[in-house]
A and B are shown apart, each in its own frame.
Chain A
Amino acid sequence: MAALAVLVTVFANTSAFAQEAAAGAATAAPKPIDMFPIYKSVAFYAMLFLLLCLFIAIVGKAIRVYELTREAQDKPDSINWNTVNGIIFVLFLIAGLAGVYFEYTVHGNMILPDAASEHGKKIDSMFNITLILTTIVFIGTHITLFLFSFYYRNSGKRKAYYYPHNNALERIWTIVPALVLTVLVLMGFLTWRSIFYKVDDPNNKPLSIEITSQQFLWTIRYPGADGVVGLKNYKLITGTNGLGMDFKDKNNLDDQNADEMVIPVNKPVRLILTSKDVVHSFYMPHFRVQLNTVPGMTSYFEFTPTITTADMQTKVNDPAFKFLFYCSKICGSGHYNMQKVVRVVSQAEYDAWIVKQPKFINNDLRKQFNLPIVPEPAAGAAPASAPADSTATPAKDSSAVAMNKPALKK
């Protein structure tokens, strides 16, 4: 076994290096790749593998010869495979426990930091309780499984214990898991309700932000001064009106477009999620927020961020740390790169930032919608936003192009 393992690793390592070398050679010469060395290296690994097979065959034959000689000498117990397998189960158990410890401590430390939202904290404690319970069961049952396999291996001397049933035991291991699961269900149910059935606090009204997904980018719409995101209709979507906003609705006139999602800390945010083409999923893992964006349907998720980006950077000790949201539902070839930055800031920073964000409306759209008030007063009202408008749309488009480009072609 050990020899085999060594061989496998050796094979693994050498082929990794060779593949790298082959890859290096291939990239150096752009188009006419000389395939001969590649085929040669493929043949080389095939030969290596055949050699491994040959080695295994030889070991197998040796075992067979050994067993036959023992048999010929009337010594029946040559290799007791029951003992061998029983011992491997114990070794597997020990190695497995060590491996699980390694996974929990090393990879377990590489996972998401604590939740950055109010409801996320509840989810985290729910997660920890479930993790503790399942880990106990996981370790316990595996110790039992593998130790039983070892202790009760066939020795040729014993007869198994005829023990077909015990209803008391059955009752215990029906009722105990049922009770534990009832507790988990209740806690989960209450958490779930508290996330999706929120009672609005009149003194702390949520900030509505609309997110629209499309292949392979997000559009973020802020409601503007009125706090209401205006109506839209997919039939109005054109090159200039990417969301299909209906500018006859006054609520649309002050809606703002942002390239990143900036939200004030400790203020509830109500996400309005929509999609233009296929199903995407709005996933914001640090805040424990996920909901699919579905064409033809609007869905809502309300959450309250509790920690600013700056505080999080000190907490995880990484000055480059960023909150993100990205797509987690398969949506096409650019699925793996559909992200936006989320910045959680103080209310003051937010207030300063939001006024700088461009409005969706511009003169082209005003003409298109025959709005009674044409350029002059609007230009007077928002002189800063008019030039910003004209740059905003192309900027958005170019970022879209960049995202569509597969990573490898960069």
Chain B
Amino acid sequence: MSTITLHDTHNNGHHDDHDHGHHEQSFITKYVFSQDHKMIAKQFLITGIVMAVIAMGLSILFRIQLAWPDKSFPILETFLGKWAEGGRIKPDFYLALVTIHGTIMVFFVLTAGLSGTFSNLLIPLQLGVRDMASPFMNMLSYWFFFTACIIMMSSFFIQTGPASAGWTIYPPLSALPKAISGSGLGMTLWLASMVLFVVSQLMGGINYVSTVLNMRTKGMDLWKMPLTIWAFFLTAILGVLSFPVLVAGVVLLIFDRSFGTSFYLSDIVMGSQVLPNEGGSPILWEHLFWFLGHPEVYIVIMPALGISSEVISVNSRKPIFGYHAMVYSLIGITVLSFIVWGHHMFVTGMNPLLGGVFMITTLIIAVPSAVKTFNYLATLWRGNIRFTPAMLCAIGMVSFFISGGLTGIFLGNASLDINLHDTYFVVAHFHLVMGSAAIFGMLAGVYHWYPKMFGRMMNAKLGYLHFWVTFVCAYLVFFPLHFLGLDGVPRRYYAFTEFEFMQKWVTVNIFVTWSAIVAALAQVAFLFNFFYSIFFGKKATQNPWEANTLEWTTPVEHIHGNWPGEIPTVHRWPYDYSKPGAEEDFIPQTVPYSETMLSNMPHDFEGNAESERIQREWDAKNAPEKADVHFH
């Protein structure tokens, strides 16, 4: 750590060119145990994509079961063996599929894959930093994450199968192997994987927070940071404060499972065997889990919001509307997200008084979310929109955020939640607001920063194809599911065969499954585009989107330390797009106001009287018409 710091200070001096050239890196230090934030970002991204493909595959498996519960698919037996005897998925394995699908998507794809990728890539690049505060810890963060993924996937190769108590693993179901076979070794692996994952997140999060707070380049005060960085910063704070609580909960669950304690267990009879545990409560787990679990959904969505803000602003060629309001609403969401976890527990038997309180805090959190939505719309208004694939995904993200956010108003209302809790309405809600919206934010980020990551461009037309098919299919999959929920169909049902009233939804299930399959196939367009372009894509220019932020001032070829010479100084906020009087429709953050006298506005100087005076005098002399417009 100390050597790295020294190395860094050294770079900041005038020997900058000294950095690249000698000390060649071996394959191992460059691609495997890399300490370079850009390489670590790519590692997170590619691992995230692999995990996403796996989790999507699992979802197709259980969608097939839901659509054709009484048909046999012998090919499944070929791959799954005893879990799909006779070509039919077994109930236990169905639950394992939904559990692992949820776990991978929430934690490995949308937390590590999203924050891990873009925080690592953009925090140093957009803030003008040579690398993370602790590159070594950053490397560890990735490898802990990687190990967590391996352990989670290994549970598919054990006798008793993967964890299958739902991704929220409520005890006693998750604590007692007798209750479900997945709660044997599979659950142990799940818990071990999760502990490693949280370690990874903490190391990453601490790194992000300290880098943002301590290492910004000259001139980059907090209010000049791009909204992406604000989002990553607040996300990291959320993670650092809430993930340890999950570990605490997990450790207690491990104790209950392995050492006979009774934190979550009491008064249990399995079959006719009376268990000795007394005095615990499953509700305790629910509190501990959701104390992380709810901030977790904001950990998932906030980076997507930040990325969308940046992408929408760049491609509308307009400043993001209400930058300050955007930051304050992110802060508002961050703070409020800690006191809303109880809305997952309205019907658990928790004291109804608490239910009322959590309902109030939950519905308040809709206000900053609404502010963000309206600001996105205002940013589009009278813009000059370039539909890059990234922009399409960002607009898609806004659409999903609205659609899924609005159903949150139903679920956040304790009285309505009584009948909607644990039904397909919930499934539809969170797949739109946290699944689809966050995935589209992530895709927007991939399309937008791909040239920065790989020095090449992705194919735009394949991007269009990918976006439109995925966007349409995501709605076709999730919109109808609301109505199953309104009909009282519970989630995590292996088959709808046992209930007369559910028969009418079978056709909807078939339709949804086909939409899901088409959506999954559409991802081939993305995967091909992504991996093909790494090697054969069109070479990127330095600033392909004509954006203002600092990452586009670095050379296309990656170098350790990011900038070959001195780190650029920042003079202005990142959103000076289409500023009247400017020659181009963008002014990078590194351009001082002295070079843009014609486009400067009074509020640019933040009350600095001296600068305002100079500007006024210049305007009077060189551009009288401008002085009339702006200094009235």
Q: Interface residues, chain A, CB within 8 Å of chain B?
A: 1, 4, 8, 12, 16, 19-20, 22-23, 26-27, 33, 35, 38-39, 42, 49, 53, 56, 60, 63, 81-82, 84-86, 88-89, 92, 96, 99-100, 103, 107-108, 110-112, 120, 122-123, 126-127, 130-131, 133-134, 137-138, 141-142, 144-145, 148-149, 152-155, 158-166, 169-170, 173-174, 177-178, 181, 184-185, 188-189, 191-193, 195-197, 214-215, 234-235, 237-239, 244, 273, 276-279, 281, 283, 285-286, 288-292, 294-297, 299, 320, 322, 324, 326-337, 339, 406-408
- Taking a contact as CB atoms under 8 Å apart, the answer to whether A82 and B387 are in contact is yes
- Residues from chain A with a CB closer than 8 A to the CB of B524 are 49, 53
Bound-state CA distance A19–B499 (Å) is: 25
Bound-state CA distance A134–B410 (Å) is: 9
- Given A137-B406, A329-B422, A336-B494, answer yes or no on A188-B385 (Cβ-Cβ < 8 Å): no
- Given A12-B518, A188-B414, A278-B173, answer yes or no on A283-B577 (Cβ-Cβ < 8 Å): no
- Residues from chain B with a CB closer than 8 A to the CB of A144 are 377
- Residues from chain B with a CB closer than 8 A to the CB of A141 are 373, 377, 402
- Taking a contact as CB atoms under 8 Å apart, the answer to whether A138 and B402 are in contact is yes
Q: B73 touches which one: A23, A92, A283, A320 (CB < 8 A)?
A: A23
- Taking a contact as CB atoms under 8 Å apart, the answer to whether B488 and A112 are in contact is yes
Q: Which of A84, A149, A169: most chain B Cβ within 10 A?
A: A149
A-B contacts besides A188-B363, A290-B347, 17 pairs, CB < 8 Å = A19-B73, A26-B87, A35-B78, A131-B410, A137-B402, A138-B406, A145-B399, A163-B381, A165-B323, A177-B366, A177-B370, A178-B367, A283-B422, A285-B487, A294-B281, A331-B179, A333-B91
- Taking a contact as CB atoms under 8 Å apart, the answer to whether A63 and B348 are in contact is no
Q: Name B431-487 residues within 8 Å CB distance of A.
A: 459-462, 464-465, 468-469, 471-472, 475, 479-480, 482-483, 486-487
Bound-state CA distance A339–B399 (Å) is: 38
- Residues from chain A with a CB closer than 8 A to the CB of B374 are 169, 173
- Taking a contact as CB atoms under 8 Å apart, the answer to whether A285 and B381 are in contact is no
- Taking a contact as CB atoms under 8 Å apart, the answer to whether A35 and B585 are in contact is no
- Taking a contact as CB atoms under 8 Å apart, the answer to whether A163 and B318 are in contact is yes
- Residues from chain A with a CB closer than 8 A to the CB of B483 are 103, 107-108, 110-111
Q: A20 touches which one: B71, B172, B580 (CB < 8 A)?
A: B71
Bound-state CA distance A408–B422 (Å) is: 24
- CB nearest to B348 among chain A residues: A292
- Taking a contact as CB atoms under 8 Å apart, the answer to whether B385 and A82 are in contact is yes
How big is the B interface, by class?
A: 35 or more
Chain B nearest CB: distance from A115 CB in Å? 9
Q: B578 touches which one: A23, A126, A159, A335 (CB < 8 A)?
A: A159
- Residues from chain A with a CB closer than 8 A to the CB of B48 are none
- Given A162-B577, A234-B269, answer yes or no on A335-B377 (Cβ-Cβ < 8 Å): no
Q: B472 touches which one: A38, A92, A279 (CB < 8 A)?
A: A92
- Residues from chain B with a CB closer than 8 A to the CB of A407 are 69, 495, 497-498
How many residue pairs between the two chains, A and B, have CB atoms under 8 Å in the bound complex?
A: 392
Chain B nearest CB: distance from A281 CB in Å? 6
Chain A nearest CB: distance from B548 CB in Å? 13
- Taking a contact as CB atoms under 8 Å apart, the answer to whether A408 and B282 are in contact is no
Is B158 interfacial (CB-CB < 8 Å)?
no
- Residues from chain B with a CB closer than 8 A to the CB of A334 are 91
Chain B nearest CB: distance from A364 CB in Å? 15
Chain A nearest CB: distance from B68 CB in Å? 8
- Given A130-B410, A336-B493, A407-B69, answer yes or no on A295-B267 (Cβ-Cβ < 8 Å): yes
- Taking a contact as CB atoms under 8 Å apart, the answer to whether B387 and A86 are in contact is yes
Chain A nearest CB: distance from B94 CB in Å? 8
- Given A122-B415, A174-B367, A294-B349, answer yes or no on A152-B72 (Cβ-Cβ < 8 Å): no
- Taking a contact as CB atoms under 8 Å apart, the answer to whether A192 and B499 are in contact is no
Bound-state CA distance A102–B493 (Å) is: 26
Flag the segment in B146-154, B292-300, B353-361, B607-615 that touches A: B353-361
- Taking a contact as CB atoms under 8 Å apart, the answer to whether B407 and A193 are in contact is no
- Given A165-B325, A332-B179, answer yes or no on A111-B487 (Cβ-Cβ < 8 Å): yes
Q: A148 touches which one: B377, B402, B410, B508 (CB < 8 A)?
A: B377
- Residues from chain A with a CB closer than 8 A to the CB of B376 are 145
Q: Show 15 residue pairs from A and B whose CB-CB distance is below 8 angstroms, ordered by the A residue.
A: A4-B465, A86-B385, A134-B407, A158-B384, A159-B585, A160-B384, A164-B321, A185-B360, A277-B179, A283-B490, A288-B418, A330-B491, A333-B494, A335-B492, A407-B69
Chain A nearest CB: distance from B500 CB in Å? 7
- Taking a contact as CB atoms under 8 Å apart, the answer to whether A160 and B363 are in contact is no
- Residues from chain B with a CB closer than 8 A to the CB of A322 are 500
- CB nearest to B361 among chain A residues: A185
- Taking a contact as CB atoms under 8 Å apart, the answer to whether A103 and B585 are in contact is no
Q: A184 touches which one: B413, B461, B579 (CB < 8 A)?
A: B413
- Taking a contact as CB atoms under 8 Å apart, the answer to whether A197 and B352 are in contact is yes
- Taking a contact as CB atoms under 8 Å apart, the answer to whether A107 and B387 are in contact is no
Bound-state CA distance A322–B322 (Å) is: 54
Q: Name B35-75 residues within 8 Å CB distance of A.
A: 68-75
Q: B280 touches which one: A96, A296, A331, A408 (CB < 8 A)?
A: A296
Q: B418 touches which one: A12, A123, A145 (CB < 8 A)?
A: A123
- Given A82-B385, A295-B268, A336-B498, answer yes or no on A130-B461 (Cβ-Cβ < 8 Å): no
Bound-state CA distance A406–B65 (Å) is: 13
- Taking a contact as CB atoms under 8 Å apart, the answer to whether A170 and B494 are in contact is no
- Residues from chain A with a CB closer than 8 A to the CB of B366 are 177, 181
Bound-state CA distance A177–B514 (Å) is: 37
- Taking a contact as CB atoms under 8 Å apart, the answer to whether A81 and B460 are in contact is yes
Is B423 interfacial (CB-CB < 8 Å)?
yes
Chain A nearest CB: distance from B54 CB in Å? 19
Q: B325 touches which one: A1, A155, A170, A286 (CB < 8 A)?
A: A170
Q: Interface residues, chain B, CB within 8 Å of chain A?
A: 68-75, 78, 86-88, 90-92, 95, 165-166, 170-173, 176, 179-180, 265-270, 272, 274, 280-283, 316-325, 347-349, 352, 355-356, 359-360, 363-364, 366-367, 370-371, 373-378, 380-387, 392, 395, 398-399, 402-403, 406-407, 409-410, 413-416, 418-419, 421-423, 459-462, 464-465, 468-469, 471-472, 475, 479-480, 482-483, 486-488, 490-501, 504-505, 508, 514, 517-518, 521, 524-525, 528, 575, 577-580, 585
Bound-state CA distance A16–B579 (Å) is: 55
- Given A126-B416, A188-B414, answer yes or no on A328-B422 (Cβ-Cβ < 8 Å): yes
Q: B352 touches which one: A142, A192, A327 (CB < 8 A)?
A: A192
Bound-state CA distance A174–B577 (Å) is: 26
- Given A153-B385, A333-B92, answer yes or no on A296-B266 (Cβ-Cβ < 8 Å): yes
Bound-state CA distance A173–B464 (Å) is: 32
Q: Which of B270, B348, B508, B580: most chain A Cβ within 10 A?
A: B348
Chain B nearest CB: distance from A205 CB in Å? 21
- Taking a contact as CB atoms under 8 Å apart, the answer to whether A152 and B384 are in contact is yes
Q: Which of B95, B347, B364, B493: most chain A Cβ within 10 A?
A: B347
Q: Which of A49, A112, A177, A336: most chain B Cβ within 10 A?
A: A336
- Residues from chain B with a CB closer than 8 A to the CB of A214 are 269
Chain A nearest CB: distance from B318 CB in Å? 4
- Taking a contact as CB atoms under 8 Å apart, the answer to whether A160 and B383 are in contact is yes
- Taking a contact as CB atoms under 8 Å apart, the answer to whether B356 and A189 are in contact is yes
Q: B363 touches which one: A96, A184, A279, A320 (CB < 8 A)?
A: A184
- Taking a contact as CB atoms under 8 Å apart, the answer to whether A326 and B385 are in contact is no
Chain B nearest CB: distance from A52 CB in Å? 8
- Taking a contact as CB atoms under 8 Å apart, the answer to whether B378 and A169 are in contact is yes
Q: Which of A155, A288, A335: most chain B Cβ within 10 A?
A: A335
Q: A145 touches which one: B92, B266, B380, B461 (CB < 8 A)?
A: B380
Chain B nearest CB: distance from A128 CB in Å? 11
- Residues from chain A with a CB closer than 8 A to the CB of B91 are 333-336, 406
Chain B nearest CB: distance from A162 CB in Å? 5
- Taking a contact as CB atoms under 8 Å apart, the answer to whether B413 and A165 are in contact is no
- Taking a contact as CB atoms under 8 Å apart, the answer to whether B317 and A297 are in contact is no
- Residues from chain A with a CB closer than 8 A to the CB of B406 are 134, 137-138
Chain B nearest CB: distance from A119 CB in Å? 8
Q: Which of B366, B387, B469: most chain A Cβ within 10 A?
A: B387
Q: A188 touches which one: B265, B413, B480 (CB < 8 A)?
A: B413
Bound-state CA distance A272–B568 (Å) is: 68
